[in-house]
Amino acid sequence: MNKKITAWEKVEIARDPKRKTALDYIEEIFDDFIELHGDRNFKDDKAIVCGLASIGKQNFTIVAEQKGRTTKENIERNFGMPNPESYRKAIRFMKQAEKFGRPVITFIDTKGAYPGIGAEERGQGEAIAKSMFEMAKLKVPIIAIVIGEGSSGGALAIGVANKIFMLENAIYSILSPEGYSSILWKDSSRFKEAAEKMRLTAKDLYDLKVIDKIIKEPSGDSEESFKKIVNNLKKEIKNTIEELKQLDKESIVQKRYEKFRSMGEFMSL
């Protein structure tokens, strides 16, 4: 009989440096990918990757939080913690997607938005809020996929979607377990207990109706297991987009609004 994985063990799996990143999934799921750069205001922040991709004849706009593998890559990607210019870049290309009628796929994988002084000076909070605001009214289908560590406003900023998928061993929460225990109990050493209380696993969030689909992860980290995950994700993306394409623009926005409205009402009970 398989041992049940605790919430904290799920956190450790989600944070594993060897875990597949957004670009790994993009490369395998889509037929091609062309990266687009810059927010046309400050610079190109590499913690979020944006671009154009396709599956068959269906074109997509991709917005993905990207961590590095090596120390050098992590420094280049800011350890997957976006600056304001990342969110402004994402907004720019999501609006472009709306203009050309392309569905948007976001990949969520960050410990949070970058909390540095420079980021705050350039309007980090406003950029996160604006991203959520623009996603809420976007007139094309949006699918968000939580592939690793989805934490804090840095993750929520690109999570306002019609459908939210989550890998079985990913996590999704308003802050880290360490932050939760520090704030609530003034004791960061209680992080394991906090992970259980926060209900941040895929099963918890599916039961709470925060996410719409759990993507199973076969045991082991072999390429064969990764291929199974990719194939399942690709199938779910294709089926969901076909379903959402049956709706008119106003209904796409309305259904998204109703999803998050009902989620809030359910969780307040």
- Residue ranges covered by each domain of the chain: 7-267
| pLDDT at res. 264 | 61
Name the residue among 132, 171, 169, 141 with its Cα closest to residue 236: 141
Residue 3 burial by Cβ neighbours in a 10 Å radius (0-12, 13-18, 19+): exposed
Residue 134 has pLDDT above 60, yes or no: yes
Integer Cα distance of 125 and 235 in angstroms: 35
Encode burial over 228-254: b for 16+ CB neighbours within 10 A, e otherwise.
ebbebbeebbeebbeebeeeeeeebbe
**Cα(46)–Cα(136) distance, integer angstroms:** 24
Residues sharing a CB contact under 8 Å with residue 207, sequence separation 6 or more, in sequence order = none
Beta carbons of 172 and 214 less than 8 angstroms apart: no
Question: Are the beta carbons of 52 and 33 closer than 8 angstroms?
Answer: yes
Q: Say yes or no to pLDDT of 197 above 60.
A: yes
- The answer, yes or no, to whether residue 1 has pLDDT greater than 50, is no
Average pLDDT over residues 117-135: 95
Q: What is the mean pLDDT of the chain?
A: 93
Q: With beta carbons less than 8 A apart as the criterion, state whether 45 and 86 touch.
A: yes
> In this model, does residue 265 exceed pLDDT 90?
no
Q: Which of 249, 28, 9 is nearest to 145 (CA)?
A: 28
Mean pLDDT to the nearest integer, 174-191: 92
Residues 7-267: name the CATH superfamily: 2-enoyl-CoA Hydratase; Chain A, domain 1 (3.90.226.10)
> SS3 for 145?
strand
CA nearest 255: which of 141, 85, 133? Answer: 141
- The average pLDDT across 157-161 equals 97
Q: Give the pLDDT confidence of 218-239 residue by residue, as tens digits.
A: 877 678 889 999 999 999 999 9
